[in-house]
């Protein structure tokens, strides 16, 4: 029977590349997006592969997510891997920050992974196995010069990852995170060359990361090859110099 992977934020960028990688590896995948239209577009781009389905439930709605995950388990037989990838970045100056903006970032970047992890862990404990993977960021180590909410949220993700690894290990549930550096998503692709080139010069490997680079890291951490790795924050950043 195929393993089952849930990917939040799976409609574009790193999340979409991760969905593709897990499908290629033989998983059945459930991707989550923020809106019905984006989910349908992603499924169309995946040629309506019968091994992938999509949902657009609010990731902070605990009752709805619990119901979703129970349905996924009933329909597909298990939940083997959860990838908490959905999130938003920010570069607002601190002087212009508001509590509302800070809360919006915390809700999607921290509360949503908590809600999804809690729902998945309950099922994984019953199964006797599972893997939870989170998307962190290099800014969780270095911070950033503006947009304080984003690095704060990723520091929180690191703490959640390490703490859950320690707590859930006895249930044969591994918990790790991948911390991408600058990655060629739509946002970076839209930047002018004069901004991208200095970024490249700060990366010893002399290239910006690809979504596929991050997807491969998730695939490795989900695999039996990483069976003794838990509580790790894996940097995939080309050894970027902050």
Q: CA-CA distance, 45 to 54, in Å (whole number)?
A: 12
CA distances (Å), origin 178, targets 2, 141, 170: 24, 12, 22
Q: CA-CA distance, 172 to 126, in Å (whole number)?
A: 11
Ranges of beta strands (E only) in 136-232 are: 173-180
Q: Name the burial class of residue 139, with classes exposed (0-12), middle (13-18) and buried (19+) by CB atoms within 10 angstroms of its CB.
A: buried
Edge-to-edge order in the sheet of strand 173-180: 52-55, 28-32, 4-8, 81-84, 130-135, 173-180, 233-236
Asked about 114 being catalytic, the answer comes back as: no
Ranges of beta strands (E only) in the chain are: 4-8, 28-32, 52-55, 81-84, 130-135, 173-180, 233-236
Instruction: Single out the catalytic residue among 27, 150, 155, 228.
Output: 150
Closest by CA position to 235, among listed 144, 123, 158, 132? 158
138 CB-near residues (< 8 Å, 6+ apart):
179, 180, 181, 182, 235, 237, 240, 242
Q: What number of residues does the chain have? A: 242
Q: Which residues are identified as catalytic?
A: 150
């Amino acid at each position: 029977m195929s393993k089952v992977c849930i990917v939040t934020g799976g409609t574009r960028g790193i999340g979409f590349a991760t969905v593709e990688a897990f499908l290629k590896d033989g998983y059945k995948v459930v991707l989550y997006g923020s809106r019905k239209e984006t989910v349908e577009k992603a499924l169309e781009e995946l040629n309506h592969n019968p091994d992938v389905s999509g949902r657009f439930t609010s990731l902070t709605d605990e009752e709805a997510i619990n119901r979703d995950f129970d349905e996924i388990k009933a329909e597909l037989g298990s939940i083997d891997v959860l990838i908490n990838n959905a999130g938003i970045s920010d570069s607002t100056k601190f002087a212009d920050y508001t509590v509302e903006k800070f809360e919006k970032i915390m809700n999607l970047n921290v509360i949503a992974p908590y809600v999804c992890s809690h729902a998945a862990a309950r099922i994984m404990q019953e199964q006797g196995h599972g893997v939870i993977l989170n998307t962190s960021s290099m800014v969780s180590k270095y911070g950033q010069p503006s947009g304080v909410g984003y690095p704060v949220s990723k520091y929180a993700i690191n703490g959640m990852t390490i703490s859950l690894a320690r707590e859930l290990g006895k249930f044969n549930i591994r918990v790790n995170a991948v911390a991408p550096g600058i990655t060629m998503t739509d946002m970076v692709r839209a930047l002018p060359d004069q901004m991208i080139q200095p970024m490249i010069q700060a990366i010893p490997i002399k290239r910006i990361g690809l979504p596929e680079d991050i997807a491969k890291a998730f695939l490795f951490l989900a695999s039996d090859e990483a069976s003794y790795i838990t509580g790790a924050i894996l940097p995939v950043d080309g050894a970027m110099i902050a």
